[in-house]
Structure 1
Amino acid sequence: MHILEFEKPIAELEGKIEELRHLSDSGDVNIADEVSKLQAKVDKLLRSTYAKLTPWQKTQVARHPERPHALVYINALIEDFTPLAGDRAFGEDQAIIGGLGRFRGHSVVVIGHEKGHDTESRIRHNFGMAKPEGYRKAIRLMRMADHFQIPVITLVDTAGAYPGIEAEERGQAEAIARSIETCLDIRVPLVSAIIGEGGSGGAIALAAANSVLMLEHAIYSVISPEGCASILWRSGDNAKDAAEQLRLTAQDLHKLGIIDSVVPEPMGGAHRNIDLMFQTLSMSLDSALRDLSGTEGGVLRAWRRDKFLEMGRAGLS
């Protein structure tokens, strides 16, 4: 497992446990009591460490290379998932995955940023940084969901939209704006979950939802800490300071009313107990969809628009 800097004391204890287990397997030595004591220390240290993570440490957890991404959640939570490709205008963008499936027995359209899990897949999915065709695909799928009256679930996990020249040439800003407009316009339940990084317009393009959930150690911000530091301090070395100022943690954003609820993660982050994370997120998504089910489409749309307009008014006051 990849070890973050602040996790090194925990990793040392876990290493000792593995050594003792290896000794036990290779002979008649019974070290169960010692392993139990060390495991109790690990659990206590893990709990105390993760109870007081700084915003920069949460940023590191949100970016953990073993953290589950959109496709992992889709494969675990969505039955009979059928991916749908292309924007019907330019091409396919695998940074955004979308399609039809069944969530807890009900039809849904699922759309999510996919970062990839190894070098090959990360390059294929462009590290979750979508181009205009990715957002136009999302628009197409949301419009389809609206036409057939199917709820939409989005899974947000991106450092931001792709900033390359070719993306700008194909209308990146317009595509993001149209995606936000579509989120605010459709007349079906729209639930979004920030599962890792929620970066800039690339995130809000899929997250202008009736209900926005956010995993406990995810981050959500108008700009990355590195980007903010490069603007304010002219150096990415101040990313830690920027993270402190951006109020990008789930806990801060819930207090500010930007998100609707915080989804607890397993102790030590989603990557330490993926099955438990699946169960917790599944229950949270189901609860959010149930709260919205049966509500008339025009009311859903009005609620969604008023919610984000109120955020703007609060920001100006």
Structure 2
Amino acid sequence: MSVLDFEQLVNELDDNISRLRAAAVREGRADATHEADSMAQERDTLLREFFAHGLTPWDEVLLARHKDRPYTLDYVPMLCEDFLELAGDRLYGDDGAMVGGFAQFGGSPIVLLGQQKGRDLKERQKRNFGYPRPEGYRKALRLMQMAGRFGRPVVTLVDTPGADSNVPSEERGISEAIARNLREMMILPTPTVAVIIGEGGSGGALGIAVADRVLMLEHAIYSVIAPEGCAAIIWRDPTRGADAAKAMRVTAKDALSLGLVDEVIPEPLGGAHRSPDIAGAAIKEAVARHLQELAGRPTEELLAMRFAKYRALGRFTGGDADSPPPAFGAVGNADGPPPFQPITGAEPVPQSI
């Protein structure tokens, strides 16, 4: 049984509980209140047992895409105050799939960025179904550079299936826009924290996720391509998305074990969509803690830590003459230091690329 099939059963229990509680208020029935409480305990027990057995990678994909899962603009009022959204990239136009602006976080000013999908058809069209266009990434870069000039930390909320790949976006330089963001985020002279709240899809996610600390919600996913896209390429069968999700190791637990993220933020029982306030509070606590750890560090130290973090990803080590040859795709380096060696604090950090 998939997590969505199981959730249908839970939703039926929720409906019955709501009807019983309404009857208890309307008719003053104590027995209805007692029955509703018993049914709520039964529901929570079912949820705990189902999630305790462990979700499949495909279940995690379904939860990350859940229609009721909180999006960036749902979390904004939970995380900060006085959010002032800014629009436009000062080059072409605005992009509804990317939102951002200034805000107060725990009494301190920050720049908050995030990707937005939309709830109904009209909003989804406005937000391009969560696929950011070039102007979205250029808007994000404009805001991040403002944060660097003003000394404000940057917090990003990542939730996209990927960047827009339609012809107009290709014509306006979607690949260049993402690549420039990757470069500029590496040398941004201010603390940065990224939180993957739903789908972390390919370069579309990376365009705002090259941060000092990368956090990930428990039921979010992080991948180089959508599982269905991978299945279509590898097996010529997009219906094998579940097999691809398992092979690609897209879950938060996998990302943590691979060193791609720094922390997995627990979600409420059943997923963030069941208790958005609890999920928002957990995100706020984690972000505040990591910003506190980064606060006050000299820019040189901050950049050195950031360079070391990303240069350590995907490192390969060579063996001696008696070792078998490296597997296909592995990098051998018999002479000299291992490739992708992290820089040390003593090495100069480039201020531009």
Name the TM-score, length of structure 2 as normaliser.
0.85
1:192 aligned counterpart, secondary structure: strand
Moved more, 285-294 or 8-17: 8-17
Offset of residue 220 of structure 1: 0.7
CA distance, structure 2, for counterparts of residue 85 and residue 62 of structure 1: 27
CA distance, structure 1, for counterparts of residue 148 and residue 98 of structure 2: 19
Unaligned runs of 5+ in 2: 317-328, 332-353
Letter in 1 for 2:268: P
Work out which of the residue numbers 282, 300, 307 in structure 2 matches 1:305.
307
User: 2:13 maps to what in 1?
Assistant: 13
Structure with the bigger percentage of helix: 1
Question: Is residue 78–residue 281 contact of structure 2 (8 Å, CA) maintained in 1?
Answer: no
Offset of residue 299 of structure 1: 1.4
Offset of residue 119 of structure 1: 1.6
* 1:273-288 alignment, distance < 5 Å: 273-288=275-290
- 1:50 paired to 2:40: no
- 1:33 paired to 2:34: yes
Unaligned runs of 5+ in 1: none
1:64 aligned counterpart, secondary structure: coil
Moved more, 287-296 or 43-52: 43-52
- 1:245 paired to 2:225: no
CA RMSD across the alignment: 1.7
User: 2:178 maps to what in 1?
Assistant: 176
CA distance, structure 2, for counterparts of residue 245 and residue 218 of structure 1: 16
Offset of residue 290 of structure 1: 0.3
Offset of residue 76 of structure 1: 2.4
User: 1:88 maps to what in 2?
Assistant: 90
Offset of residue 43 of structure 1: 0.3
Offset of residue 124 of structure 1: 0.6
CA distance, structure 1, for counterparts of residue 126 and residue 289 of structure 2: 34
Letter in 1 for 2:283: L
Moved more, 141-150 or 73-82: 73-82
User: 1:290 maps to what in 2?
Assistant: 292
CA distance, structure 1, for counterparts of residue 8 and residue 135 of structure 2: 41
Higher RCO (Cα < 8 Å, 6 or more apart): 1
Offset of residue 27 of structure 1: 4.0
Moved over 6 A (4+): none
Question: Is residue 103–residue 110 contact of structure 2 (8 Å, CA) maintained in 1?
Answer: yes
Offset of residue 312 of structure 1: 2.8
Offset of residue 304 of structure 1: 1.1
Identity level (%):
46
Offset of residue 35 of structure 1: 2.3
CA distance, structure 1, for counterparts of residue 254 and residue 75 of structure 2: 25
User: 2:109 maps to what in 1?
Assistant: 107
Work out which of the residue numbers 143, 147, 150 in structure 1 matches 2:149.
147
1:307 aligned counterpart, secondary structure: helix
CA distance, structure 2, for counterparts of residue 21 and residue 87 of structure 1: 50
User: 2:196 maps to what in 1?
Assistant: 194
CA distance, structure 2, for counterparts of residue 35 and residue 171 of structure 1: 56
Seen in structure 2, the aligned counterparts of structure 1 residues 290 and 316 have a Cα distance that, compared at 3 Å, is: farther
User: 1:127 maps to what in 2?
Assistant: 129
* 1:158-173 alignment, distance < 5 Å: 158-173=160-175
1:196 aligned counterpart, secondary structure: strand
Moved more, 29-38 or 281-290: 29-38
Offset of residue 33 of structure 1: 2.9
1:207 aligned counterpart, secondary structure: coil
Offset of residue 45 of structure 1: 0.8
CA distance, structure 1, for counterparts of residue 250 and residue 189 of structure 2: 29
